[in-house]
């Protein structure tokens, strides 16, 4: 695996840590900025919306640059946003800072995943994505508790300064350790990138990712109240359970990364079915500690860990360019927004177990989006006018067809 892929994981770790930092410092930030805790909560929403809506536009803005230059530009924007957050004295300044960092983080994901595909052989691209996505998993596992610890001992501004230092270190590693690769070939510039979005198959593939992540986050967003108020765990034990959950995501990401190149659709099918079972089981037994822990770890293994398979499938349905990857990240973020917001509404109407049932339903909906790939003959009709011949390079297309028969690789562009 090229060293550059591990450096991309470091950059993603910095971005994800910044994304989660507000969640762990809400009371301190509310006191420091003279606002309420719910208003601080809106900063989390603003970050997510900025990622989903603004990230693709910033991606387009840096597409003319070589990948390393694009990454360094995005680091500069991200660093500026974090410095603004660390020095903000008003709520408006902090809101602007979170929007800037959210947009930069989303664009960074898109360019990074595109570069992963550019730097690695076709048969190991899913594994490379898994390595890069370890930055996401470790950000969930370590970034949130570490930034919270720093904020509690040295103040919430110190947490943003630490993230800024981490981003600066990651940028330096990027400048020194990532090769100055050419812009991705075969994309045809912005017009070529936009052209693939005419494929209805690509939109259905993106929708699958929304359901995969939405199913998990409808539950994950409310683990704390479910574990304390329904299961009966103490507040002090919840962080340990969430660390165990994060460790499960690291393991699951490793396993999925090994399978994503050969069996992306089958991996997603198994992941969605198992996640639906685990979420439903959690909902049914949430009052019992032992099964609750088992189902919690199961969700960690098969939830957000589907990222390598999702990225592989989207790149085969579209291309490996930065815009496709950025739009894909927007659909993932949309899943987070939908899952967490609908989960909150469900709690108001039906109680604390309802987000778990909602997650199970979204997982089933995700399975339905896979049907055209699983039932022979549906996919050509889904993408009218798309030639049946492979648009991949001959060797790559043959390898993919042999490896994962249900995957419609014969109608995909070069991954």
**pLDDT of 333 over the 70 cut:** yes
Q: pLDDT for 19-60, tens place per residue?
A: 878 877 888 898 999 998 778 878 888 898 899 889 889 988
Asked, colleague to colleague, whether 1-185 and 190-415 share their fold, the answer is yes
**pLDDT of 413 over the 80 cut:** no
More confident site: 125 or 317: 317
More confident site: 208 or 195: 208
Domain boundaries, the chain: 1-185, 190-415
Q: What is the pLDDT of residue 2?
A: 82
Fold of 1-185: Growth Hormone; Chain: A; (1.20.1250)
- DSSP letter for 60, please: H
* Cβ within 8 Å of residue 307, ≥6 positions away: 129, 130, 133, 136, 253, 256, 332
* Cβ within 8 Å of residue 213, ≥6 positions away: 303, 304, 332, 335, 336, 339
Reported as type and span, the H/E element at residue 332 is: helix 322-350
Which residues make beta-bridge pairs with 413? 391
Average pLDDT over every residue of 281-300: 96
Q: pLDDT for 245-281, tens place per residue?
A: 989 998 999 999 999 989 999 999 999 999 999 999 9
Most confident of 109-123, 154-168, 393-407: 154-168
Provide the CA 183 distance to its chain's centre, in angstroms: 24
Domain 190-415, second-level architecture: Up-down Bundle (1.20)
Q: Which of 13-27, 67-81, 394-408 has the lowest mean pLDDT?
A: 394-408
Label residue 395 by pLDDT band (50, 70, 90).
Answer: very low
Q: How far apart are the first and last CA of the chain?
A: 17
Q: How much is the mean pLDDT over the chain? A: 84
Most confident of 113-117, 361-365, 374-378, 399-403: 361-365
**pLDDT of 348 over the 90 cut:** no
The answer to whether the predicted template modeling score (pTM) of the entire model surpasses 0.75 is yes
Distance between CA atoms of residues 268 and 260, nearest Å: 9
Q: What is the pLDDT of residue 180?
A: 76
Residue among 207, 168, 151 nearest 27 (CA):
151
- DSSP letter for 320, please: S
Average pLDDT over every residue of 313-327: 88
Q: Note whether 130 and 260 are within 8 A (CB).
A: yes
Length of the chain: 415
Cα Rg for the chain, rounded, in angstroms?
21
Distance between CA atoms of residues 363 and 160, nearest Å: 35
Average pLDDT over every residue of 169-185: 82
Distance between CA atoms of residues 99 and 96, nearest Å: 5
Return the residue matching tokens 């694009």.
70
Q: pLDDT for 75-118, tens place per residue?
A: 999 999 999 999 999 999 999 999 999 999 999 988 998 888 88
Q: What is the pLDDT of residue 179?
A: 85
Q: Percent of the chain scored above 70 by pLDDT? A: 88
């Amino acid at each position: 695996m090229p060293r550059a892929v591990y450096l991309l994981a470091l950059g993603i770790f910095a971005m994800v840590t910044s994304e989660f930092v507000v969640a762990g410092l809400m009371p301190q930030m509310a006191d420091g900025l003279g606002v309420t805790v719910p208003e601080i909560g809106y900063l989390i929403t603003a970050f997510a919306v900025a990622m989903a809506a603004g990230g693709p536009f910033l991606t387009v803005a840096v597409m003319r640059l070589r990948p390393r230059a694009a990454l360094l530009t995005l680091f500069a924007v991200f660093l500026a946003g974090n410095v603004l957050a660390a020095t903000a004295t008003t709520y408006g300044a902090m809101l602007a800072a979170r929007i800037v960092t959210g947009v930069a983080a989303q664009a960074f994901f898109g360019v990074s995943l595109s570069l992963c595909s550019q730097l690695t052989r076709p048969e190991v691209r899913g594994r490379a994505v898994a390595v890069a996505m370890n930055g996401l998993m470790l950000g969930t596992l370590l970034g949130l508790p570490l930034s919270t610890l720093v904020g509690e001992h040295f103040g919430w501004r110190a947490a943003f300064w630490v993230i800024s230092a981490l981003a600066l270190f990651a940028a330096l590693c990027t400048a020194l350790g990532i090769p100055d690769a050419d812009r991705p070939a075969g994309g045809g510039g912005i017009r070529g990138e936009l052209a693939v979005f005419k494929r209805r198959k690509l939109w259905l593939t993106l929708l699958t990712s929304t359901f995969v992540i939405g199913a998990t986050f409808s539950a994950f967003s409310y683990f704390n109240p479910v574990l304390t108020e329904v299961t009966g765990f103490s507040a002090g034990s919840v962080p340990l359970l969430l660390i165990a959950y994060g460790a499960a995501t690291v393991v699951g990401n490793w396993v999925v990364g090994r399978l994503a190149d050969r069996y992306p659709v089958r991996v997603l099918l198994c992941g969605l079915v198992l996640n639906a079972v685990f979420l439903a089981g959690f909902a049914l037994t949430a009052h019992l500690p032992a099964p609750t822990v088992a189902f919690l770890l199961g969700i960690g293994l098969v939830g957000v860990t589907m990222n390598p398979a999702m990225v592989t499938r989207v790149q085969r349905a579209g291309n490996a360019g930065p815009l496709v990857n950025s739009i894909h990240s927007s659909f993932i973020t949309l899943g987070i927004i939908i899952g967490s917001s609908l989960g909150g509404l469900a709690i108001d109407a039906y109680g604390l177990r309802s987000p778990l049932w909602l997650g199970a339903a979204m997982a089933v909906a995700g399975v339905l989006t896979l049907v055209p790939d699983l039932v022979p003959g549906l996919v050509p009709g889904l993408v009218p006018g798309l030639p049946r011949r492979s648009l991949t390079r001959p060797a790559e297309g043959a390898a993919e067809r042999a490896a994962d028969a249900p995957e419609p690789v014969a109608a995909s562009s070069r991954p």
